[in-house]
């Protein structure tokens, strides 16, 4: 599903040049659950952004669903994104002015799904995430765990092939964190490919494979015993 | 999708109440001002277009030029009109003369009703064939055919005849001419350069002149309008005019006369000739108003842009999420443009309400009769629609492109583009707003100081405490009556001096034929002159610099002497004022000589230069009857009410028919600057509005900045910053921007005010540096008051709270 070849990302400011990713090559198969770990500033989020088509690499190639996308335009990337990728963020990133229902509905709007279909699917997913009773609330009226469940609901609503999660439990206490991880695991078991960036060894344990980054390079790739 | 956008828009509006208020109020006031000014401008541009043949109607004008002295006249000698039509029948389809005995005060009687009428004219029977006027009664084709007939307007019909049928009734013109009402027309539309209440037939004038209209090619009292034949070109006609002049005007004049045409629709805004029927407006002032209107709109739109981009931080996350969930940039641009169009629409509705509310006041001080309904008629409605789209898109374009360019990864990580933090674009917009504001303020102050200057300028004569009595065709036209009246008046110690003249000094004058020493025997030169009576120099305190004033002790003075001014001495190339004394200065009355030279005074408005001038006493009874049109009475500092009552009583002793009528000279002269006063008032009002809108924008921006920097302020306070420090921190930036704006506005306004306003005047107020300093200072103070309010509230926040929140 995903293949990167010597992916490099360099950030330039007036005086400093920072290599965030340095010739990263790896593959992710359909249905896999991969955790990316590493210390702060090692390039985890940069990698996730490129995988999520939010950013282009400076060098190297990126194959998404067997298509080379590293030089795609913003518009082409937006199209691939909305049809195939769901995102979950550490700080939830819900729109404060929209209700729970409207936040989750958003991707379907951009996919031009008819209103009745939208309503049915949003209700279904909210039910699945056990947050249906809060659908008319605004994000600021919810607890962190509830917000993240809404964010996960939004990420899966369009039935993406790939879900990218950036520190999904970083702002949650351990109980809520586990709840969210369990949810993500369930999605993976239903066939969705899952890539998470995390500091937490416990979260990483849910995955089938852990990729460790240091200074923009992959230092180890452990495939867990259970999967071998 | 649409409902979704409306929802988020409304929730945002509600959440950011201050910004929404600033945005919509500013924009609504801006649009309302724009609409008001444009209604005014469109009205001004629409003058005389209600005549169906307006595009083929031209006024014939003429320049008399004697070495730079003479006149540029809106009117023609009597014979010109029909001679021209006979000469060029293919090009001139029709022609009409309009005449008013050069008098704007005519005495009209009907039964017991007696009125002085200011808008009484006579015209050829072709009048209604050229100009469109709707007849309520009578026949347009024949109404002016017969001598002694008159067409009146609906209002006049009501004023004189009430419930009677006016047709066939007789009114008396100047107690001598009996005119039969042959037609009633609708009142002349306000949008006319020529508004009349009565049009008498030219045949009546013929009767007044004992059966023959004047056949002189010199005296030029007839406003002459021609209707060009269909398909004929006015350029071609113009090419024939020199030949026409050559053929008909008499030899001594030919060289100095140029005839030309003026399109009817240009007269109101582009004509400022000698002897206009009524004062016109000035196209330059219309241009200034249009510029002000556009700037108001731009400045209100800038508020919108500034606040939208400044508050973009709070919407950055939304933009990021939308992009992540698959929104194309074009969809976001669409969303933000849509928001801007929606807000503009609401502002427009508010603006319409505002316009409706202030319309009566606006009409009151512009003297117009504008209506908001005219906006909803078909062509105008499209313009309103275009206005909406232009303002909506213009205001929304910059925010739309700016916001939609946010990179989702940056904004979602809380890193908004450096542009938002620095706000370079916003600073430029604030500088622009205040540059315009300060420049307009300078402009307005200059207009007012010029008006004040005009009021205070030493005109070379004293205009204060002078009572003017119009005496044309009254008993006073008789020299003996006049002399007795004068002597009676002078019995009152509060009446200092009495004289008479043919035009109002300082406002108008005629030109007369003279042949000064050195001019060939067969030539006459036309010089500006006033025909006067004794004590003129004394009454107006004109300074004689050489020779002497007229004196009743010298019986030959009236027939043999003229007074000329210093400019005339120079114009004629005479060596000195002294040298001028005793020189020949022939007039139509005979051989006259210069007995005195007076200091130049301003014989007309200060728009024009003062040039060579003659003061001349006429002696023959017929001349006196014609030329004594105003009696001027210098009164003392006693109770003016009492003095006026005394004058009235004396008037009634000598004149038993004509009611007493008077005005003050300084009022008459200040009327010359009506146009500038209007412009000054309009520009003052709209400058204040621009200031208000700009201040509103600054308030919104300052609020936002203070909010945005709460954390910074708290940290600074923890580190020991005082309230003053915080105040300087927050206000300092705006002060810098206002100063930059001031330095741009100064040279800009200096150039513009010179080019577009002061150039309209020959006598210009010297530009005072204080006007510039005050304008900048005023803007600065306003900005300080606004930003300091925000700065002080911000500096009072409790650091513990805001830091904890962060």
What residues contact residue B575 under an 8 Å CB cut-off, 6+ apart?
none
Beta bridge partners of B546: B597
Q: Check pLDDT > 80 for residue B772.
A: yes
Amino acid A128: pLDDT:
86
- B712 pLDDT exceeds 80? no
The residue of B6, B9, B321 whose CB has the most chain A CBs within 10 angstroms, and thus the best one to mutate to test that interface, is B321
How many whole angstroms separate alpha carbon B272 and alpha carbon A222?
94
pLDDT tier for residue B413 given thresholds of 50, 70 and 90: low
- Structural Rg of chain A based on CA atoms: 17
- What is the mean predicted confidence (pLDDT) over B546-562? 90
Distance CA(B738)–CA(B701), nearest Å, equals 14
- Contact between chains at A110 and B326 (C-beta distance less than 8 A): yes
Question: A102 contacts in B (CB within 8 Å)?
Answer: 4, 7
Nearest in space to A200 (alpha carbons), one of A61, A41, A74, A37: A37
Whole-number average pLDDT of chain B? 89
The DSSP 8-state label assigned to residue A134 in this structure reads G
User: Which residues on B lie below 8 Å from A98 (Cβ)?
Assistant: 7-8, 11
Q: What's the mean pLDDT in B704-726? A: 76
- Model confidence over B667-700: pLDDT tens digits? 999 888 888 888 888 889 999 999 898 888 888 8
Closest CA–CA distance from residue B775 to any residue of chain A (Å): 42
Whether A225 has a pLDDT exceeding 60, the answer reads no
Contact B600, B610 (CB under 8 A): yes
- Chain A hits for B407, CB-CB cut-off 8 Å, are 54-55
Share of chain A above pLDDT 90, in %: 39
- Report yes or no: A111 at the B interface, CB cutoff 8 Å: yes
From chain A, the residues in CB contact with B325 under 8 A are: 81-82, 87, 106-107, 110, 154
Is the pLDDT at A212 greater than 70, yes or no? yes
| Per-residue model confidence (pLDDT) at position B491 | 95
Res. A226: pLDDT tops 90: no
Nearest to B464 by CA among B500, B432, B506: B506
pTM of the predicted structure, to 2 decimals: 0.84
Structure tokens at B45: 């541009």
**Which two tokens mark A47?**
């990698």
Q: Do B274 and B72 meet the contact criterion of CB atoms below 8 Å apart? A: yes
- In B, minimum Cα distance to A111 occurs at B326
pLDDT at B578 over 90: yes
Chain length of chain B: 806
- Beta strand B593-598 with B630-635 is unpaired
Q: Rounded to an integer, what distance in angstroms lies between the CA atom of residue B459 and that of residue B599?
A: 11
- Least confident segment among B471-480, B573-582, B639-648: B471-480
Structure tokens at A191: 């066939």
Distance separating alpha carbons of residues A179 and B656, to the nearest angstrom: 111
Judge whether B717 and B724 are in contact, CB under 8 Å: no
Find, among B233, B228, B277, the residue nearest to B75 by Cα.
Answer: B277
CA distance B805 to chain A (A): 14
CA of A227, closest CA in chain B: separation in Å? 32
pLDDT digits (tens, 9 = 90+) for B503-515: 999 988 888 889 9
Strand-strand pairing, A162-166 and A193-197: parallel
Q: How confident is the model at residue B243 (pLDDT cuts 50, 70, 90)?
A: very high
Tell me the pLDDT tens digit for each residue of B85-110.
Answer: 999 999 999 999 999 988 888 899 99
Contacts with B48 (C-beta within 8 Å, 6 or more apart), sequence order? B54, B57, B191, B192, B193, B264, B265, B267, B268
Torsion of CA B665, B560, B251, B244, to 10 degrees: 20
Please check the confidence at residue B619 and state whether its pLDDT lies above 50. yes
Integer Cα distance of A87 and B325 in angstroms: 8
pLDDT at residue B419, rounded to an integer: 47
A207 closest CA partner among A219, A218, A187: A187
Cβ contact, residue pair A93, B317, below 8 Å:
yes
Say yes or no for a CB contact (<8 Å) between A109 and B15. Answer: no
Helix (DSSP H) and strand (DSSP E) numbers for chain A: 7, 10
Which positions in chain B touch A113 (Cβ < 8 Å)?
A: none
Q: How far is B303 from chain A (nearest CA, A)?
A: 23
CB of A134 closer than 8 Å to CB of A147: no
Give the angle B485-B512-B764 at the CA atoms, nearest 5°.
90
Give the mean pLDDT of B617-627: 81
Assess A93–B contact: CB distance below 8 Å, yes or no. yes
d(CA A163, CA B377): 58
Beta-carbon separation of B409 and A75 below 8 A = no
How far apart CA B264 and CA B47 sit, in angstroms, is: 9
Model confidence at B154, in pLDDT bands (50, 70, 90)?
very high
Residue B619 or A3, more confident:
A3
Average pLDDT (B757-767) is 87
Most A CBs within 10 Å, among B317, B326, B331, B414, to test the A interface: B326
E-only strand ranges, B717-772: none
Distances B639 to B465, B466, B493 between C-alpha atoms, Å = 11, 14, 12
What does the pLDDT look like over A10-21, one tens digit per residue?
Answer: 888 777 888 889
Query: Tens digit of pLDDT for each residue in A27-79?
Result: 999 999 999 998 888 888 889 889 998 888 999 999 999 899 988 888 888 88
- At B19-33, the pLDDT tens digits run 788 788 889 999 999
Out of A78, A95, A105, name the one closest to residue B323 (CB). Answer: A78
User: Residues of A with CB below 8 A from B327's CB?
Assistant: 78, 82, 110
Residue scoring higher pLDDT (B418 or B190)? B190
A83 interfacial to chain B (CB closer than 8 Å) = yes
Nearest C-alpha in B relative to A45: B409
Among the partner-chain residues A75, A83, A98, the one whose CB lies closest to the CB of B328 is A75
- B780: Cβ–Cβ under 8 A, 6 or more apart, which residues? B735, B738, B739, B742
- 8 A C-beta contact, residue B460 and residue B610: yes
Distance of CA B700 to CAs B16, B226, B419, B704, Å?
10, 59, 19, 6
Q: What is the CB-side half-sphere exposure of residue A130 using CA atoms within 13 A?
A: 7
Give the side-chain half-sphere CA count within 13 A for B345: 7
Q: Does A69 touch chain B (CB under 8 A)?
A: no
Q: Are B13 and B315 in contact (CB under 8 A)?
A: no
Q: What is the chain B residue with the closest CA to A87?
A: B324
Other beta carbons within 10 angstroms of residue B154's beta carbon come to 17
- Looking at chain A, the whole-number percentage of residues with pLDDT higher than 70 is 98
Residue A219 has pLDDT above 70, yes or no: yes
Specify the range with the lowest mean pLDDT, choosing from B61-70, B237-246, B301-310, B339-348: B301-310
Residue whose token pair is 């981009």: B309
How many angstroms from the chain centroid is the CA of residue A44? 12
Mean local confidence (pLDDT), A140-157? 90
Q: Which residues in chain B touch residue A106, judged by CB atoms under 8 angstroms apart?
A: 321-322, 325
Closest Cα to residue B466, out of B323, B293, B643? B643
Tell me: pLDDT of B804 over 70.
Answer: no
Phi-psi region of B414 (alpha: psi -120 to 50; beta: other; left: phi over 0): left
What is the rounded distance in angstroms from the CA atom of residue B477 to the CA atom of residue B474?
6
How many A/B residue pairs have CB atoms within 8 Å?
69
**Whole-angstrom distance, CA of residue B319 vs CA of residue B323:** 6
Of A45, A87, A91, which is closest to B324 when you measure between CB atoms? A87
Q: What's the pLDDT at B71?
A: 86
Residue B83 scores a pLDDT above 50: yes
Question: What pLDDT does B802 receive?
Answer: 61
The b/e string for B688-723 (b: 16+ C-beta within 10 A; e otherwise) is ebbbbbbbbbbbbbbbbbbbbbbeebbebbeeebee
* Six-digit token string for B357: 């509310």
User: What local confidence, expressed as pLDDT, does residue B10 receive?
Assistant: 85
> Which chain A residues touch B322 with a CB distance below 8 Å?
106, 110
A104, A160 Cβ separation under 8 angstroms: no
Read off the pLDDT of residues B207-228 as tens digits, 9 standing for 90 and up: 888 889 999 998 899 999 999 9
Report the relative pairing of strands A67-68 and A217-223 from DSSP bridges: unpaired
Which pLDDT belongs to residue B495?
Answer: 96
The answer to whether B149 and B182 are in contact (CB under 8 A) is: yes
Q: How would DSSP label each residue in B116-138?
A: EES-EEEE-TTHHHHS---EEEE
Touching check for A115 and chain B: CB below 8 Å?
no
The percent of residues in chain B predicted with pLDDT above 90, rounded, is 56
Residues of A in contact with B412 (CB under 8 A): 89, 91, 93
Residues of chain B in contact with residue A74, where contact means CB-CB under 8 angstroms, are 329
Q: Does A215 touch chain B (CB under 8 A)?
A: no
Average of pLDDT values for B271-294? 91
Over residues A164-176, mean pLDDT: 87
Min Cα–Cα distance to chain A from B329, Å: 8
- All residues of chain A having their beta carbon less than 8 Å from the beta carbon of residue B7 are 98, 102
């Amino acid at each position: 599903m995903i293949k990167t070849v010597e992916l490099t990302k360099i950030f330039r400011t007036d005086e400093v040049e920072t290599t965030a990713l340095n010739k990263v090559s790896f593959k992710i198969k359909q249905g896999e659950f991969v955790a990316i770990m590493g210390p702060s500033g090692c390039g985890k989020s940069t990698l996730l952004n490129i995988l999520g088509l939010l950013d282009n690499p400076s060098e190297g190639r990126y194959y998404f669903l067997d298509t080379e996308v590293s030089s795609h335009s913003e518009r082409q990337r937006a199209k691939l994104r909305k049809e195939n990728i769901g995102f979950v963020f550490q700080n939830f990133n819900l729109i404060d002015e929209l209700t729970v229902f409207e936040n989750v509905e958003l991707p379907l709007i951009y996919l031009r799904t008819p209103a009745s279909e939208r309503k049915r699917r949003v209700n279904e997913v909210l039910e699945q995430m056990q947050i249906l009773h809060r659908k008319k609330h605004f994000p600021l009226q919810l607890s962190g765990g509830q917000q993240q469940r809404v964010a996960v609901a939004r990420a899966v609503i369009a039935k993406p092939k790939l879900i990218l999660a950036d520190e999904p439990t970083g702002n949650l206490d351990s109980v809520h964190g586990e709840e969210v991880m369990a949810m993500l695991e369930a999605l993976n078991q239903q066939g969705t490919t899952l890539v998470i960036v995390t500091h937490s060894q416990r979260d990483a344990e849910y995955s089938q494979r852990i990729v460790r980054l240091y200074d923009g390079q992959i230092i180890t790739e452990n495939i867990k015993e259970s999967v071998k | 999708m649409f409902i979704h956008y409306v929802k988020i828009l409304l929730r945002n509006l509600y959440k950011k109440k201050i910004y929404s208020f600033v945005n919509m109020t500013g924009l609504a006031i801006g649009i309302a001002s724009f609409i008001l000014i444009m209604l005014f401008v469109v009205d001004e541009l629409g003058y005389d277009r209600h005549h169906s043949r307006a595009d083929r109607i031209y006024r014939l004008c003429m320049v008399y030029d004697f070495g730079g002295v003479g006149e540029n006249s809106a009117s023609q000698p009597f014979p010109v009109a029909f001679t021209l039509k006979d000469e060029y029948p293919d090009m001139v389809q029709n022609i009409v003369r309009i005449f008013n005995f050069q008098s704007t005060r005519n005495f009209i009687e009907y039964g017991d009703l007696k009125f002085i009428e200011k808008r009484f004219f006579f015209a050829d029977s072709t009048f209604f064939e050229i100009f469109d006027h709707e007849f309520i009664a009578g026949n347009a084709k024949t109404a002016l055919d017969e001598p002694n007939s008159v067409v009146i307007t609906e209002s006049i019909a009501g004023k004189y005849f009430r419930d009677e049928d006016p047709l066939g009734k007789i009114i008396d013109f100047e107690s001598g001419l009996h005119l039969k009402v042959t037609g009633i027309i609708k009142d002349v539309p306000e949008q006319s350069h020529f508004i009349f209440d009565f049009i008498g037939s030219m045949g009546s004038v013929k009767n007044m002149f004992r059966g023959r209209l004047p056949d002189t090619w010199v005296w030029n009292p007839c406003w002459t309008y021609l209707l060009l034949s269909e398909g004929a070109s006015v350029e071609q006609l113009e090419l024939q005019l020199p030949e026409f002049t050559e053929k008909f005007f008499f030899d001594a004049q030919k060289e100095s006369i140029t005839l030309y045409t003026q399109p009817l629709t240009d007269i109101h805004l582009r004509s400022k000739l000698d002897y206009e029927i009524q004062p016109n407006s000035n196209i330059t002032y219309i241009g200034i108003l249009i510029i002000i209107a556009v700037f108001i709109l731009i400045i209100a739109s800038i508020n919108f842009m500034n606040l939208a981009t400044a508050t973009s931080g709070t919407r950055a996350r939304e933009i990021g999420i939308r992009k992540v969930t698959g929104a194309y940039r074009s969809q976001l641009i669409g969303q933000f443009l849509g928001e801007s169009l929606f807000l503009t629409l609401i502002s427009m509705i508010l603006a319409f309400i505002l316009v409706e509310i202030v319309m009566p006041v606006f009409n009151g001080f512009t003297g117009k009769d504008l209506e908001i309904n005219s906006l909803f008629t078909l062509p105008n409605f499209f313009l309103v629609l275009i206005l909406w789209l232009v303002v909506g898109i213009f205001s929304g374009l910059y925010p739309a492109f700016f916001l939609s360019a946010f990179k989702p990864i940056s904004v979602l990580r809380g890193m908004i583009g450096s542009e938002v933090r620095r706000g370079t674009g916003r600073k430029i917009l604030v500088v622009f707003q205040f540059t315009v504001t300060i420049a307009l303020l300078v402009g307005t102050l200059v207009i007012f100081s010029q008006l004040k200057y005009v009021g205070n300028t030493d005109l070379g004569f004293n205009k204060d405490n002078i009572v003017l009595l119009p005496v044309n065709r009254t008993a006073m036209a008789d020299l003996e009556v006049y002399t007795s009246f004068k002597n009676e008046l002078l019995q009152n110690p509060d009446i200092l001096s009495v004289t008479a003249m043919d035009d109002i000094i300082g406002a108008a004058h005629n030109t007369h034929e003279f042949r000064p020493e050195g001019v060939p025997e067969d030539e006459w030169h036309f010089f500006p002159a006033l025909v006067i009576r004794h004590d003129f120099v004394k009454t107006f305190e004109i300074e004689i610099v050489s020779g002497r004033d007229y004196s009743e002790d010298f019986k030959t003075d009236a027939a043999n002497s003229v007074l000329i001014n210093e400019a005339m001495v120079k114009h004629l190339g005479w060596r000195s004022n002294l040298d001028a004394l005793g020189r020949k200065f022939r007039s139509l009355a005979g051989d006259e000589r210069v007995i005195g030279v007076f200091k130049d005074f301003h014989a007309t408005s200060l728009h024009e230069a003062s040039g060579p001038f003659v003061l001349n006493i006429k002696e023959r009874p017929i001349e006196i009857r014609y030329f004594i049109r105003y009696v001027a009475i210098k009164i003392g500092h006693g109770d003016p009410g009492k003095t006026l009552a005394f004058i009235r009583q004396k008037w009634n002793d000598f004149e038993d028919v004509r009611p007493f009528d008077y005005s003050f000279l300084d009022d008459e002269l200040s009327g010359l600057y009506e146009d500038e006063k209007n412009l000054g008032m309009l520009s003052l009002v709209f400058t204040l509005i621009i200031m208000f809108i700009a201040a509103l924008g600054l308030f919104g921006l300052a609020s936002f900045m203070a909010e945005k920097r709460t954390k910074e302020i708290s940290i600074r306070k923890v580190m020991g910053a005082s309230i003053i420090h915080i105040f300087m921190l927050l206000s300092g930036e705006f002060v810098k921007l206002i100063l930059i704006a001031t330095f741009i506005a100064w040279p800009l306004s200096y150039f513009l005010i010179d080019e577009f306003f002061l150039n309209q005047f020959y006598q210009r107020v010297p530009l005072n540096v204080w006007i510039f300093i005050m304008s900048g200072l005023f803007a600065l103070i306003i900005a300080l008051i606004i930003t300091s309010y925000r700065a002080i509230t911000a500096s009072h926040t409790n650091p513990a709270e805001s830091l904890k929140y962060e």
